[in-house]
A and B are shown apart, each in its own frame.
Chain A
Amino acid sequence: MADAPAYAPFFGCMGAASAIIFSSFGAAYGTAKSGVGISAMAIMKPDLIMKSIIPVVMAGILAIYGLVVAALLIGKIDPAPGYTLFHSFCHFAAGLAVGLCGLASGFAIGIVGDAGVRATAQQPRLFVGMILILIFAEVLGLYGFIVAIILHLKV
C-alpha cells in the first residue's frame, strides 16, 4: 500500500522516543540547575531547603509529561499494513511537541529556580514571586502536553 509503507512506524517510534528524551533533558537541566542553587543557599539557610525543592518537583513533572505521552504513543504504534503515514507523522509531531516544549520549560524552570532560591534565602518575601514565575514556566511544558494529546487523539 502506498499510504502504509513498511517504514511508517519509524516516525511513530521516533515521536515516542523524542517525547521522553527531550523532556528528560529539560527535567535534568531543571533539577541540576536548581539543585546547585539550593546547595549554595542551604549553607546560609538550612531550614529553607524543603520549601526550595519546589523547582525540582516542577522539573520532575516535565519528565512525567514526556512519560505519559510516550506511553500513550507506544500503545498506538503498530506494524505496517494497519499503520499509515498519517498516523506515524501525527505521532511524530506529538512526541516532538511535548519533548521540545518540555526541554524549553526545563531550561526556564532551572534558571529561574536557581536564581529564585538564592534570592529567597536573602529576602523571604520573594518566595511567592518565584513560585508565580515557575508556574508560568511550567505551563509551557503543559502547552506541549496538550498539543501532544490533541494530536494523539486525532489518530
Chain B
Amino acid sequence: MGLYGSRGKGSYAYGCYASLVIIIIVFIAIGLYYMFSGRGGEFDVGWVLEKISPYSYACLGIGISIAFSVMGAGWGMFITGASIVGAGVKAPRIKTKNLVSVIFCEAVAIYGIIIAIILTQNIGSTTDEDWVENYNTYVYNGYCLFFAGLLTGLCNLACGICVGIVGSGAALADAQNGELFVRILVIEIFGSAIGLFGVIIAVLLGNNKKISSS
C-alpha cells in the first residue's frame, strides 16, 4: 500500500468526519437562530417530514431498493470473481462449479428488482378529492413505501457483500481440495437468507400501500 495509500485513507476519514460535524453544527446554528429570534416554533422537523410529498418518498424508496441491491450484488460479484479467476490460474477446474457463487450474488439483485416492481404497482395518479379525504393514509403509505425500499436495498447490500466474501473463500478452498466447495456452499446459503429476510419484511411493509385513486 505504501505511503501514498495510507495518507489517502487517513485524509478521507478526516474529510468524512469533518463534513459530518460541519453539517451538524450548521443545523444546530440554524435552530438556535430561530429560537433566539423568537420564531422557535417555525423550526419544525415534523413539518418537513409531513410536507415532503408521499410520491417523493415512494419513488425514492423504489429507486433505493434497486440501486443498493444491485450495488450489493456487484460488490459481491467482483469479490468472488476476482478470487475465482485468481485461484483458477493453478486449478482451472474450479471455474464452472464456482459460478454458483456468482449466481447467488445475482439472486440478490433479483430480490431488489422484484421489490422495486412490487412497490411500483402502488403509485398512480390521485384526484384532489381523494387527496383531501385520504391525506393521512397517503402520507403513511409514502413512509411505508420509502422504508420498504430502503430496507430492501440495505439488506441486499449486506447480503451481497457477505455472499461475495464467502464465495471468495469457497473458491480458494476449492482450488486446494475439490470436495470442500459443497460444504462451504452451506455458509453461502446462510448468507443468502439475509437478503431473503429483507424481502419478506419489505413485502409485509410495502404491500397494498397505495397512493392512487384507482
Contact = CB atoms under 8 A, between A and B. Distances in A.
A146 interface: no
Given A17-B151, A43-B180, A27 B194 contact: yes
DSSP majority for the B interface?
Answer: helix
Nearest to B176: A43
A53 B162 CA distance: 15
B130 interface: no
Contact of B166 (A10, A32, A80): A32
Nearest to B155: A24
Given A13-B147, A35-B165, A28 B137 contact: no
A122 interface: no
A13 B205 CA distance: 8
A14 B154 CA distance: 13
B58 interface: no
Interface string B181-200: 00110111011011101101
B140 A5 contact: no
A28 B191 contact: yes
A21 B137 CA distance: 25
B162 A28 contact: yes
Interface residues of B, number: 48
A42 B182 CA distance: 12
A79 B136 contact: yes
Interface stretch (A63-71, A126-134, A137-145): A63-71
B143 A9 contact: yes
Contacts of A70: 151, 201, 204-205
A63 B186 contact: no
Interface in A60-103: 60, 63-64, 66-67, 70-71, 74, 77-81
A79 B137 CA distance: 5
Nearest to A15: B147
Given A14-B147, A42-B184, A50-B183, A74 B204 contact: yes
B139 interface: yes
A34 B191 CA distance: 11
B154 A49 contact: no
B150 interface: yes
A30 B176 CA distance: 24
B19 interface: no
A28 B201 CA distance: 17
Given A27-B194, A39-B169, A49-B180, A21 B154 contact: yes
A31 B139 contact: no
B113 interface: no
Given A9-B143, A60-B190, A74 B205 contact: yes
Contacts of B183: 42, 46, 49-50
B158 A36 contact: no
A24 B191 contact: no
A53 B177 CA distance: 18
A60 B193 contact: yes
Q: Which 5 A-B pairs have the closest CB atoms?
A: A39-B169, A79-B140, A80-B136, A35-B166, A28-B158
Interface of A: 5-7, 9-10, 13-14, 16-17, 20-21, 24-25, 27-29, 31-32, 34-36, 38-40, 42-43, 46, 49-50, 53, 56-57, 59-60, 63-64, 66-67, 70-71, 74, 77-81
6 contacts: A6-B136, A36-B168, A39-B166, A42-B173, A63-B193, A70-B204
